Amino acid sequence: MSTLGAVPTDHGVEFAVWAPHAEQVWVTGTFNDWSDDAHPLTREDDVWSALVAEAKAGDEYKFVLRNGEELLHRIDPRAFEVTSSVGNGVVHDHAAFDWQGDDFQLPGHHELVIYELHVGSFHTRPDEGVGTLE
The predicted structure's pLDDT at residue 112: 79
The predicted structure's pLDDT at residue 120: 64
CB 43 within 8 A of CB 17: no
| CB atoms closer than 10 angstroms to residue 83 | 12
50-75 residue pLDDT tens: 999 999 999 999 999 999 999 999 99
Please, which contacts does 10-14 make with residues 24 or more away whose CB atoms are closer than 8 Å?
Answer: 11/51, 11/53, 12/51, 12/52, 12/53, 12/54, 12/55, 12/56, 13/51, 13/52, 13/55, 13/56, 13/57, 13/59, 13/91, 14/49, 14/50, 14/51, 14/52
